[in-house]
A and B are shown apart, each in its own frame.
Chain A
Amino acid sequence: GAGVSQSPSNKVTEKGKDVELRCDPISGHTALYWYRQSLGQGLEFLIYFQGNSAPDKSGLPSDRFSAERTGGSVSTLTIQRTQQEDSAVYLCASSPWTSKPAHEQYFGPGTRLTVT
């Protein structure tokens, strides 16, 4: 079946512009995560959606970052007034809700954002 997809795959933007990154999770997955991966660094948690619950936004680095998930499916991560330090690969992952203690995460290919 189809995996997690993200668009665009690459985005180059000028400092100060707004960008929107899209994530299409695997159908039926109730959990959706956004991460940021800077060069040579581990993944940094940004935000987490689970079903109809309020999202966990504790990882968002500043109020320039926001995300929404419409209809419990597609999610959009928005970065306003981009800065050069926002340059990174933004990864989305989805996960089914199960009774198992360890839930599998399925990652998309990522969006490489470059702020010039």
Chain B
Amino acid sequence: KNQVEQSPQSLIILEGKNCTLQCNYTVSPFSNLRWYKQDTGRGPVSLTIMTFSENTKSNGRYTATLDADTKQSSLHITASQLSDSASYICVVSPTVGDNYGQNFVFGPGTRLSVLP
């Protein structure tokens, strides 16, 4: 069964600190992995998209890594800000070149709280 697991479930850090969120998946065959940020009461917003041939991608203070062999990804946030408080969702697509909604397997998310 295609599954995406994320850890930790929730995380509290102080402003200015770094943190790393984890994503493990059992999706096969693998096409791409996405990280989304979802603010409370808002829809998810894409941070990064990585295909199987990419092992790292950055978007400002966010850096995602991918190890397709171990089926693990991480999202590293540098110099956290209060506005980083949100849920971070890992999404894996098992079908190459396909846009079909049912083929996006969503993780449950990690709830990050950044405190002043």
Contacts and interface: CB of A to CB of B under 8 A. Distances in A.
Interface of A: 4, 31, 33, 35, 40-48, 50, 56, 58-59, 91, 93, 95, 97, 101-110
A59 B89 CA distance: 20
Contacts of B97: 101
Contact of A107 (B4, B44, B100): B44
B49 A104 contact: yes
B86 to A, nearest CB: 13
Interface residues of B, number: 25
Interface string B74-85: 000000000000
B108 A42 contact: yes
A102 B49 contact: yes
A100 to B, nearest CB: 8
Nearest to B34: A102
A95 B46 CA distance: 12
B24 to A, nearest CB: 14
B65 interface: no
B63 interface: no
Nearest to A58: B102
Contact of A109 (B32, B41, B104): B41
Interface centre among A47, A105, A106 (most CB of B within 10 A): A105
Contacts of A105: 46, 104
B94 interface: no
B99 interface: yes
A1 to B, nearest CB: 15
Interface string B38-78: 00011111100101000000000000000000000000000
